[in-house]
Every structure is written in C-alpha cells, then in structure tokens.
Amino acid sequence: MGPINLYAQPAGHGEITLSEEALRLHQEALVIDGHNDMPGNILDKKLNSKPGFTLNEPQAELQTDIPRLRKGGVDAQVFVAYISPDHMRTGGGNSACIEQIELIHQLVNSHADALELAVSANDISRIAGQGKIAALVGVEGGHAIENDLKNLERYYELGTRYMTLTHNETTDWADASYDAPRHGGLSSFGKKVVKSMNRMGMLVDVSHSSDDTVRDVLRVSKAPVIASHSSAKAICPSRRNLTDELIKGIAGSGGIVMINFFPLFIVPEGGEVEQRYIDFSIALRGKNLSPEQYREEMNKWEKQQPPMPKCYVGHLVDHIDHIAKVAGIDHVGLGSDYDGITYGPEQMPDVSGFPYVTQELLNRGYSTAGIGKILGGNFLRVLKEVEKS
C-alpha cells in the first residue's frame, strides 16, 4: 500500500447549508448530548473565581455556554466530572470528583432560569417541556471512587446517572484501551462495581475501556450498557473506538453508542495520527522526565506535526450510518465530548453546531422518527430502562 494522503477528502464531505426544514425538525426533536467536560475546564481555568462569571454570556475560553446551547437546540446536557488518572498516583480522586459534582449543582442553581438538574428520564422530558435545559451529572474515570463502593453510592445521591469506568489508564479494577492490560478486563471488584451500578440504576459507560473490559461488562451487566462518547473502529481505527462486535454487544444489551465529535476519532486517518502521538508519548515516558518537562516536550512535538485532515459533519454522520447499519437505529446517539476536545468538525466548533447533524441526516434520507431517535430519543429510552432494572 502506498502512503496515505492525509488531506484527500471522500466525495460528499464538505460544508453543508442549514435548511428551514432541518431547523424545524431540530427544534421539534428532543436533543440530548451525552458527554460534556465543561466543569473541569471551568476549574482548570479558574473561570468560576472570576468576578461576574456567568454562563448566560458567551465564554470564549469554553466550547459551552447557555447562548450556544440554545443556538444548538440542546434540550438536555450531561455535564461530566472528569477525574484525571493522575489521581491514581497522587490521591484525591474522590474529593476532586465531589468538587466537580458540586460545581455542576452550583452552576445549575445560579442559572435557574435556563438550567435545571435532571435525575431521571421523566425529569428530562418535563424540564425540556418547560423550555429549560436539563442538566445531568456524569462521572468520567472509575478510579474516582478510590475502590470504595460507598463513594459510588454518594455520587448517585448527588445526582450522578452514569460513570465511565476508565479514562486512558488502567485502574485497579478495569483495563483501559490506551494502557497495558492488568486484569484481562474487569477484576472481581470491577464486576462488583458494575453490579452495584445496576442495582442503583446508574448507567454503566464503557467509553475508554479496553475491548476485554467491554466484553466483561456485557457479560456482567443486567441493564443496558452505554458508550457515552465513542465512535466506530471500522471507520477510524482509534484504539478507543468500538469494533462492530462490541457495538453489536452494546445493542444486544439494549444500550447505545454515542458518537464522539473529535476529528481524531472520526476521520479514517485519525488512527494513524493517534498512533504517532502514542509512540512519541511512550518514548518520552521512558526518559523519566518530570511532569512539567514531559508536557513541554509533548507541546514542542505537537507544534511540529502537520495539521489534522479536514473533518466535516459528513464524517461524523458516517459513524452514525455505520452503527445504525451494524446495530440498528435504536442504538446510536450523540456524545460530543465538547470542552474535553480541542476542536470539533468544520461548522461544529462548539455546542451551537448540533443542527448540522440534523441537516446531514436529512440529506441522507433519514426519517423524522429516525432523526428523533438519534438526537435524543434513544438515550431517553435507555435511561428509562436502566431506572427500571
């Protein structure tokens, strides 16, 4: 095989124009985004300590604020408490998680005219029906519980309705997709975590997990399983994307795969770019650099890399098409990962861009009912089923 042209675009991938029909369909549909990392971004940038900080005004340092959520037609947003794997070495993962969950509560309370906390599927429908945005809580990184199921129960009490079992690094009880396996999937404690989540009615999220971890989850879980921000490996061979086997397994559980909007995980060449990054990172880790030196060297390397290939809305919808074909239209949704990604597809730099997905689905001949399922109906159904389990 010859060299891959990182800049060649398949036919049909380019900018699209919003139509009145698409805007009407989008407004009428229930639009749910399954993954947004805004809370951690606010804390990292200390935005909440700035006088007069409000999400009611455009926030240039974020990909999310209320005006753009409104423009994007988002009816329900899962705000995620992302816990860095560094806490597995430094400690403090549970307290960092509680801090972010409390921040989500504070943001909801201080923007009560636009946001309201949702802890059930019925809440989502009611809040959206009142013209507000339903704010849900998720946790990303099972290491946050610090191997204590009581912490997991506390998250649920605070409104958390899903937990992503791993991030990029293997935990004490679950293997991650970017890390060396230690458990062959889930450890015995990891299986207890899944069963506890089932019992509470908390969605089990397998994004970032290794293939063996996903297989174990599908064997253990008695409730539908989700991937809150993953895409299809058959299109983009990123290590964190899902194989057709796993997509079918998640669908078989009654669950849903929610497409990540980051171009690195969408365009076919993304896996090659990702592997270069991983190889260089591993080589740097072997030099025993300080965290500061490591970040400095990675930043230098990244600035020397060619730009990523163009990514359009059509590339994103290719993943929706694929999952709908492999697993059925009832098992695909949207999990943007905004404020956890550096940029989105063309025309979708932030949460304002969701109507373009509706337009592209309409362009490809999806029915109104099918578009409604993808935009939010499928996630609502899954949440209802998990609540009953």
pLDDT in tens, 143-182: 999 999 999 999 999 999 999 999 999 999 999 999 989 9
Confidence of residue 1 (pLDDT cuts 50, 70, 90): very low
Confidence of residue 12 (pLDDT cuts 50, 70, 90): low
pLDDT for res 291: 72
pLDDT in tens, 267-315: 998 888 888 888 888 788 788 888 778 878 888 888 888 777 789 999 9
pLDDT in tens, 100-141: 999 999 999 999 999 999 999 999 999 999 999 999 999 999
The structure's pTM equals 0.93
Question: 85 or 11, which is more confident?
Answer: 85
CATH 3.20.20.140 assigned to domain 20-268+310-388? The reply is: yes
**CB burial readout 240-252, b (16+ within 10 A) else e:** bbbeeebbbbbbe
pLDDT for res 389: 75
Confidence of residue 2 (pLDDT cuts 50, 70, 90): very low
Under 8 Å between Cβ of 81 and 161:
no
Average model confidence (pLDDT) for the chain? 93
Share of the chain above pLDDT 70, in %: 97
DSSP codes, 54-96: -TTS--TT-S--HHHHHHTT-SEEEEEEE--TTHHHH--HHHH
Q: What is the separation, in whole angstroms, between the first and last Cα of the chain?
A: 50
Three-class SS state of 35: strand
- Kind and range of the H or E element at 344? none
* Spatial distance between the Cα atoms of 168 and 91, rounded to a whole number of angstroms: 17
Residue 169 has which token pair?
Answer: 């690094």
pLDDT mean over 39-56: 95
pLDDT mean over 13-37: 97
pLDDT for res 206: 98
